Amino acid sequence: MKPGKIRAFLLIIGDNITMSIKLKELSHEELVNISELTNEARGYILQMTTLSASGHPGGSMSTIDFLMTLYNLINVDPKNPNMENRDRVVMSHGHVSPAAYTTLAAKGFFPIEDAVSQFRLAGSIYEGHVEPDVPGIEWASGNLGQGLSAGVGFALANKQKGINSNVFVLMGDGEQQKGQIAEARRFAVKYDLNNITAFIDYNQLQINGDITGVMPQNIMDNYISDGWDVISIDGHNFEDIHNAIHDAVDNENPTVIIAHTTMGKGVSFMENKEKFHGSTLNEEQLVLALEELDVENRFDEMKKLRSEHNEQNNCEHSTVRKALNLDLGSPIIYQDKTDCRSAWGNAIADIAKLNKKAPLAVFDCDLMGSVKTDGFFAELPENFYQAGIMEHHTAVMAGAMSAAGVQSYFADFGVFGVDETFNQHRLSDINNTNLKVITTHVGLDVGEDGKTHQCIDYLGVMKNIFGFHTIVPADPNQTDRIIRYISGKYGNFLVPMGRSKLDAIKDSAGEIFFGENYTFEFGKADKLRSGNDGAILAMGTLVTRALEVASKLAEEGINISVWNFSCPTALDECALAEAAKTGNVFTYEDHNVQTGLGNSIADKMMELGLACKFTKFGVEGYAMSGASDQVFAKCKLDTDSIIKRIKAKL
Amino acid sequence: MKPGKIRAFLLIIGDNITMSIKLKELSHEELVNISELTNEARGYILQMTTLSASGHPGGSMSTIDFLMTLYNLINVDPKNPNMENRDRVVMSHGHVSPAAYTTLAAKGFFPIEDAVSQFRLAGSIYEGHVEPDVPGIEWASGNLGQGLSAGVGFALANKQKGINSNVFVLMGDGEQQKGQIAEARRFAVKYDLNNITAFIDYNQLQINGDITGVMPQNIMDNYISDGWDVISIDGHNFEDIHNAIHDAVDNENPTVIIAHTTMGKGVSFMENKEKFHGSTLNEEQLVLALEELDVENRFDEMKKLRSEHNEQNNCEHSTVRKALNLDLGSPIIYQDKTDCRSAWGNAIADIAKLNKKAPLAVFDCDLMGSVKTDGFFAELPENFYQAGIMEHHTAVMAGAMSAAGVQSYFADFGVFGVDETFNQHRLSDINNTNLKVITTHVGLDVGEDGKTHQCIDYLGVMKNIFGFHTIVPADPNQTDRIIRYISGKYGNFLVPMGRSKLDAIKDSAGEIFFGENYTFEFGKADKLRSGNDGAILAMGTLVTRALEVASKLAEEGINISVWNFSCPTALDECALAEAAKTGNVFTYEDHNVQTGLGNSIADKMMELGLACKFTKFGVEGYAMSGASDQVFAKCKLDTDSIIKRIKAKL
């Protein structure tokens, strides 16, 4: 993109690319400059929101003084927005994007005219909630309560890499009501993250009014109770802000700066009016406001620019990130009954052993023994993070850490790693992360723990997230290959596994199918058995049962082919066409029958116009608590039931 | 079911159905009795977990002393488990089901032999995590951190109904790491819930060891910082427990009892061993343990009962709950452009006005003006709850309150009311709740707020929950009917709506389609236009656009039928068959094209064997921030693009 023009501002604030925050003091000249910049910024905040007739001016005006003072101090380079040792700023209250864009423009990241004229314009990068496509923006937000977790992820990445720079997380005050913030606070204290500073724009107004009326909270006591230090300041006094940032950065404890501010600060008729949280000024009000601020009125000029906006002039969206160059080692071949969980644990331990210096991280939520992260811990204890029973925070932290270049594996039970954290993964995916979600205990296989713990929707839920690829291993050998495969790719993957031990799947000649000559190909289905009377398409632990079904049917002279569809989000169209040719397609899964493999396959076959008899076998309601085989039988998904159900259709 | 046998116990603890807790004192006889009962209970806890070779003995043994002392005091009636003025106990750490079952058996709810012999047996009610199918169990749990929110829902129901009884929530200590608990604490304080008492089984061990090692936390300070009172006791001293319960119930503030306990308490070789959180004793260890406890060894007897278990003897699952008998009023007919949000707001306000004494509640998360709950608030301010930015807590609380007989409406933006709270709704559905989730700002219609706020997966996510019915209104008139319809039905419903104003949909004669003669029928699709060249199947705000497409195509002599599928989780098979007859079916939605209406319809058509050309129009990737119409155009979902795309297929 073009270098930023600065005509709108007296001069670029700050120029301290190499300087440590600790040595910095606020000169009188800077003070004057910041106060003039924030005043101009308020004018632009109002012009861009009125121009797009939407957005959030009130909070932008209460937070701009802190933001501008912060950027005067921190180590960022508009010419090299991605330099690794930069200080990072997370805007958790992403709706104050007008404040963020004016500050970044003042710092020289892009021309202020672009941000103002293209604000919330379809196709432009200057979206309503901040996004990393905008140079200088680290993390897309907007769903409140997640920003501190993202900041913790960045701070953790710096610690692990030995980078001595700072992370600042800006939040609203109403947002403090979200429980996830308490989880992030605890983690930061456990791991001594003295490189993170939080800021709360304490204007005491949220959408429905005074925060103490909407939901009383003791913000200061909450932070102190979780071991954070608190600095309380006047959020519109530049010297207070400057000194508070110094003190927070010097402090050995994670520190929050609670800044007492005024919503709509700077325009008399906007101040302390909650309606201006999300309402913009009309053009008459804008004129009055700009006069009161005594700043140039560029509204018509910006309006013209907006009408002339040509998408070709947009700066390209954030560059595609690259996979790590890891030694993925050699496959482990399992001859004996093994659970896929252990195969994952052994594979990641092997990768850790071969890549001791690589930026890898594994996150665990108090399930180390069950999700088999202990092998990795033994190899790379410094890269293993025990996050306790705090799944929401852990999901976001792992995503953010991966965006900062540390390939992250979040291991958990399916109901916690998928169902509980879906929205956290959705935001990570929007942030183009490199997150590997490894879930165990999925399907009916978890048996005795009952319906609250049976994750039978992992595919149905996660296929809503555009960038997440789901790969379901059929046995320990395929698990080993899949873990090595995803470890060599950049991007978001879900690998769901059951609990119980499985035999190594064999081909019809009795040889191990996923053996030495097997290479995992994303999107390719595996034909395990041939047969022209029908086809069973299965995934996960049910592939083994499908093979039993086929062999028993073969004894009765019924020959059905068996396919392993390990990539349900990238269906193998050739395999589907071949299966359809048998005239009788059966899908078989211990997943919700409405939303799983059968559903995806039906959809694809309809799209491809593959007509044939089609029957889905899956879970039709909440299952019970009991031994896995008993539960399968009661759900009519055991092999005997399936044989009966198939014969009824042939 | 049969009345409980008590041969296993000396006598039933407590007999205080009508007595107020405040007047009760612990007699020496009771003290002796409780200590003997808890000792026997420990024996049964070990026998049932060893018998099923799974389960959680450690925490059950640390919490049993509190549980038994509590049930000695509280107002519950085994002969009438559902009496409305009962005290309620929520087991948030649902894995201590062995402790819960032995205590309820001791209270006379069912024979101890049933619970022990059928524990975790497929088809029995005595599941691994507690479930309301078990008489005396109020709430299914197991996903930690939700129980306090459920208890708050029950306590709120009592307050609203003027029932003067108590709610007790039992939790683990590791669980305190979950952020949702902080949300529940704040809400309880805001609404002065002095009728709730929390209990923490502070044995200081979680699955991966010492809680301070796994995730350091200041539990006491956390509760105090949120305005709760704390009582700290020896959790194995019956008099301490008894007096603490008295003090907590008398106290005007919400109170938590932190009970210092010992995991595996009572068996020397189990005490303070975290492995016994989720590991059972083998038969040799069991013999030693029962000897040390000096209780009867009934293992072989129970084993025999288990092997003989006949499902016919199970007590029936919890009775189906009934809908409220409300005056649903008369439809409001909208002639002019109106947003569906306002139609929902007007309908619920009308229902409130007509049913001032009915047990209704509306929950809002700081979005009152946007989700239009202000009309209800004006009619029934006492039944309106402003929960702030605390969606996880609010979802569970609303679900639990509905299970306690208060029909609950949870109104929120789609990304918060669905994406953020999916797992909370899943647990509510398992609890057979009566929750109406009303989401606004779904689809691309939310425009400027951008991809983090565009809920384009509400159907794809919620159709994973077996009991949730999704109904998507096409215009304000249908919205009015749908809100009145769901208000007259017991069960869980999702009603997703866009943001913008819509014209009243007209039939081909120009009359309002959802007018005076229209009655909403669940599962019925509406044929809005006829045509034999193809069929557009649409839902929500896109029905209006589909009609535009059809009329423009008609001008070119192409006649396609237009169907409104407002019930995507209960597809109209006759309508699908009729649409398929045209030979060219198009689905049209501003939802993720992989998981929405088109996906459900493809699945159903495949299942029904309805072969025809089939094309899905929907959202194929994250959309941008911009004016709604611009976003539709960029996603090629505007009417001109759809016309082109249809003509290319015909």
Closest partner residue to A603 (CB to CB) among B131, B603, B631 is B603
- If asked whether residues A485 and A531 sit together in one domain, one would say no
B460 to A453, B271, B326: CA distances (angstroms): 21, 47, 31
pLDDT at B148: 98
User: Residue A191's closest CA among A222, A219, A167, A214?
Assistant: A167
Rounded CA gap, B6 and B106, in Å? Answer: 7
Structural domain includes residue A513: no
- Of A219-223, B376-380, B578-582, which gets the smallest average pLDDT? A219-223
- The three-point CA angle A147-A129-B458 to 5° equals 85
Structural domain includes residue B607: yes
> The complex's ipTM?
0.95
Whether pLDDT at A88 is above 60: yes
- Model confidence at B326, pLDDT cuts 50, 70, 90, reads very high
Q: What is the CATH number of the domain that holds A634?
A: 3.40.50.920
pLDDT at B18: 33
pLDDT per residue as tens digits for the range A269-307 = 999 998 898 899 999 999 999 999 999 999 999 999 999
Whether pLDDT at A60 is above 70: yes
Structural domain includes residue B334: no
- If asked whether residues A446 and A549 sit together in one domain, one would say no
Whether pLDDT at B236 is above 70: yes
- If asked whether residues B362 and B277 sit together in one domain, one would say no
| Residue A107 CB neighbour total at 10 angstroms | 25
Indicate yes or no: CB of A422 within 8 angstroms of CB of B423.
Answer: yes
User: Residue B87's closest CA among B8, B167, B29?
Assistant: B167
Please identify which residue in the block is written with the tokens 């301490």.
B240
Q: What is the 3-state secondary structure (H, E, C) of A493-525?
A: EEEECCCCEECCCECCCCCECCCCCCCCCCCCC
- If asked whether residues B343 and B300 sit together in one domain, one would say no
Indicate yes or no: CB of A450 within 8 angstroms of CB of B123.
Answer: no
A214 to B360, B387, B592: CA distances (angstroms): 21, 7, 34
Q: How far is CA B148 from the centre of its chain?
A: 13
Number of domains in chain A: 3
- If asked whether residues B476 and B552 sit together in one domain, one would say no
Q: What is the CATH number of the domain that holds B244?
A: 3.40.50.970
User: Residue B128's closest CA among B118, B136, B120?
Assistant: B120
pLDDT per residue as tens digits for the range A1-10 = 232 222 222 2
- If asked whether residues A134 and A262 sit together in one domain, one would say yes
Structural domain includes residue A636: yes
User: Residue A502's closest CA among A545, A558, A462?
Assistant: A545
Structural domain includes residue B468: yes
Rounded CA gap, B629 and B639, in Å? Answer: 10
- If asked whether residues B497 and B539 sit together in one domain, one would say no
Rounded CA gap, A175 and A222, in Å? Answer: 13
Closest partner residue to A419 (CB to CB) among B386, B426, B607 is B426
Q: Which residue of B has its CA nearest to A373?
A: B208
- Of A546-560, A562-576, B19-33, B191-205, which gets the smallest average pLDDT? B19-33
pLDDT per residue as tens digits for the range A345-387 = 999 999 999 999 999 999 999 999 999 999 999 999 999 999 9
pLDDT per residue as tens digits for the range B549-572 = 999 999 999 999 999 999 999 999
pLDDT at B314: 52
Whether pLDDT at A501 is above 50: yes
- If asked whether residues B270 and B419 sit together in one domain, one would say no
Structural domain includes residue B139: yes
B461 CB neighbours in chain A (<8 A) are 422, 461, 464
pLDDT at A252: 87
Q: Which residue of B has its CA nearest to A569?
A: B594
Of chain B, the end-to-end C-alpha distance in Å amounts to: 63
CA distance B38 to chain A (A): 25
Please identify which residue in the block is written with the tokens 């202020």.
A112
pLDDT at A6: 25
Q: What is the 3-state secondary structure (H, E, C) of A264-313?
A: CCCCCCCCCCHHHHCCCCCHHHHHHHHHHHCCCCCHHHHHHHHHHCCHHH
Whether pLDDT at B317 is above 70: no
- Asked if residue A546 lies in contact with residue A573, where contact means CB atoms within 8 angstroms, the answer is no
A189 to A90, A201, A381, A404, A647: CA distances (angstroms): 19, 22, 18, 20, 60
pTM of the predicted model, to two decimals?
0.95
| Residue A286 CB neighbour total at 10 angstroms | 20
- If asked whether residues A292 and A186 sit together in one domain, one would say yes
Structural domain includes residue A22: no
Indicate yes or no: CB of B179 within 8 angstroms of CB of A602.
Answer: no
CA distance A352 to chain B (A): 22
Rounded CA gap, B172 and B512, in Å? Answer: 57
pLDDT per residue as tens digits for the range B87-109 = 999 999 999 999 999 999 999 99
B366 CB neighbours in chain A (<8 A) are 174, 206-208, 214-215
Structural domain includes residue A409: yes
Q: Which residue of B has its CA nearest to A144?
A: B389
What average pLDDT score do residues B203-208 get?
84
pLDDT at A446: 84
* Domain that residue B385 falls in: 339-502
HSE on the CB side for A314, CA within 13 Å?
Answer: 17
Best of A208, A314, A613 to disrupt the B interface (most B CBs within 10 Å) is A208
Q: How far is CA A238 from the centre of its chain?
A: 34
Indicate yes or no: CB of B178 within 8 angstroms of CB of A389.
Answer: yes
Indicate yes or no: CB of A624 within 8 angstroms of CB of B187.
Answer: no
The three-state secondary structure class of B58 is helix
- If asked whether residues B535 and B493 sit together in one domain, one would say no
Contacts of B121 (CB under 8 A, 6+ apart): A626, A630, B52, B306, B309
Indicate yes or no: CB of A206 within 8 angstroms of CB of B366.
Answer: yes
- Asked if residue B322 lies in contact with residue B304, where contact means CB atoms within 8 angstroms, the answer is no
Contacts of A457 (CB under 8 A, 6+ apart): A418, A419, A591, A592, A595, A596, B426, B464, B465
Q: Which residue of A has its CA nearest to B602?
A: A603
- If asked whether residues B266 and B357 sit together in one domain, one would say no
- Position A492, amino acid: N
Rounded CA gap, B575 and B572, in Å? Answer: 5
Mean pLDDT of chain A: 93
pLDDT at A321: 78
pLDDT at B213: 87
- If asked whether residues A100 and A197 sit together in one domain, one would say yes
